[in-house]
Amino acid sequence: MNLTTPTTIGELRRLIAEADDLAGAHVLWIDTGGEVHLSANGGNHDDSAVRLRFAPFQAGAGMVGPMAAHDDRLIGKMYFSILHHWLHAGDAPPGPLDAQLDDFEREGGWNVSGKTGAHVMNMAPRHGAFGARCH
């Protein structure tokens, strides 16, 4: 998945699906050429090649792996966060930038033309394993 060329959410799904959630913490990062990477346990990357780095996904948290790849809300959150931060990275000083996954849903959900029952994508952060939320 390279952000300097047209990309799709399917490419991100494949990247996330290939990871083993129990293999350790994973870091989603983007190199200076726009290539998106997912490294387990910090990975073996040279910090000079990192342009954007997201906070680590803890092992067993359900943020990577085949089940995570099928979670439309999670993948949407990752995809739009990646695009958002990559677009704004050009305005930042050189060097690695640390980022968090963003929530793009407005409080109270979206109401299209006053109609109720519209599909709302909840982009709230996931907590706990297997998508369970802890409050």
Cα–Cα dist 30/49, whole Å = 8
Sequence-distant (6+) residues with CB within 8 A of 92 are none
Q: 51 is in which domain, residue-wise? A: 9-103
Tell me whether residue 83 is in a domain.
yes
Instruction: Give the pLDDT band of residue 56 (cuts 50, 70, 90).
Output: very high
When the pLDDT of each residue in the chain is averaged and rounded to a whole number, the result is 79
Q: Whose CA is closest to 19, among 58, 47, 49, 46?
A: 58
Q: Whose CA is closest to 51, among 63, 68, 35?
A: 35
Give the model's pLDDT for residue 30.
94
Quick check: 75 and 13 in contact, CB under 8 A?
Answer: yes
Classify 77 as helix, strand or coil.
Answer: helix
Tell me whether residue 124 is in a domain.
no
Interval 99-122: pLDDT, tens: 988 876 544 333 333 333 333 333
Domain total for the chain?
1
Q: For the whole prediction, is pTM greater than 0.75?
A: no
Phi, psi (rounded to 5 degrees) for 27: -120, 125
Task: Report the pLDDT averaged over residues 46-66.
Answer: 91
